[in-house]
């Protein structure tokens, strides 16, 4: 009888349970769309970051490297590097300075790093929200379905298994749908967070390399003439 129709089973649900299933279906479709979208974005970003890190390890001239990575817009590390270099080179052109202030590099790198991580984190809160609330939405549908089942039992005046089982089975569909929606969303959310942490580590590595290469000592003591020494 179950084989005859899952459609018939869903069709026999109450109005509230149907609304719950439609809502869960919408959450599931949007979640899977975000999962595929972010998977593609992270895969591209990781591949481009690896290419940039290889170029950075081999580079001898940072300004020449900056020209090479102009089109690597999908690489968070390359965008960070290019942004810092553009700021430093621009300031050098204004005041003729030969080096870069450490605080300037840190502030610029922190801003660009935060911007890139925020871009990668976009839409992930929806996955977290889906994982948190859809089990409760499914539970709501189950509770309403069980209420309808007991109301039907009262109307029939019998509590046999034949009278109870169909109503309970219908009610549990909402719980199952809630779990099927929540589980992939939670897994994907945690997985993408781990990839964001790896990206943040690469951005920190690039920042350290830039500070090492561009920072200049705050001050150097001038040698005191021998005749001036006492």
The residue extents of the domains of the chain are: 14-216
Q: For the segment 51-69, what is each residue's pLDDT rounded down to a tens digit?
A: 888 888 777 777 777 777 7
**DSSP letter string over 165-211?**
HHHHHHHHHHHHHHHHHHHHHHHHHHHHHHHHHHHHHHHHHHHHHHH
**Structure confidence at residue 2 (pLDDT):** 43
Q: For the segment 179-202, what is each residue's pLDDT rounded down to a tens digit?
A: 999 999 999 999 999 999 999 998
Q: Count Cβ atoms within 10 A of the Cβ of residue 23 and give its class: 0-12 exposed, 13-18 middle, 19 or more buried.
A: buried
Q: For the segment 3-12, what is each residue's pLDDT rounded down to a tens digit?
A: 445 565 566 6
**Structure confidence at residue 6 (pLDDT):** 56
CA–CA separation, 45 and 74 (whole Å) = 5
**Structure confidence at residue 156 (pLDDT):** 66
Q: For the segment 16-33, what is each residue's pLDDT rounded down to a tens digit?
A: 778 888 899 999 999 999
Structure tokens at 98: 């030969």
């Amino acid at each position: 009888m179950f084989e005859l129709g899952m459609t018939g089973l869903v069709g026999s649900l109450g109005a509230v349970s149907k609304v719950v299933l439609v809502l869960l279906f919408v959450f599931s479709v949007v979640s899977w769309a975000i999962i595929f979208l972010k998977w593609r974005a992270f895969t591209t970003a990781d591949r481009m970051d690896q290419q940039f890190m290889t170029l950075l390890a081999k580079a001898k001239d940072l300004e020449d490297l900056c020209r090479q990575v102009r089109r690597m817009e999908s690489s968070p590390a390359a965008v960070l590097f290019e942004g810092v270099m553009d700021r430093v080179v621009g300031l050098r052109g204004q005041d003729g300075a030969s080096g870069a202030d450490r605080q300037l590099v840190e502030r610029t790198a922190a801003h660009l790093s935060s911007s890139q991580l925020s871009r990668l984190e976009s839409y992930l809160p929806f996955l977290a929200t889906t994982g948190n609330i859809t089990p409760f939405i499914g539970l709501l549908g189950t509770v309403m379905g069980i209420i309808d089942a007991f109301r039907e039992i009262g109307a029939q005046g019998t509590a046999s298994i034949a009278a109870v089982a169909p109503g309970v089975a219908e009610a549990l569909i909402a719980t199952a749908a809630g779990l099927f929606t929540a589980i992939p969303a939670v897994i994907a959310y945690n997985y993408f967070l781990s990839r964001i942490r790896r990206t943040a580590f690469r951005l920190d590595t690039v920042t350290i390399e830039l500070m090492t290469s561009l920072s200049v000592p705050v001050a150097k003591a001038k040698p005191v003439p021998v005749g001036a020494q006492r």
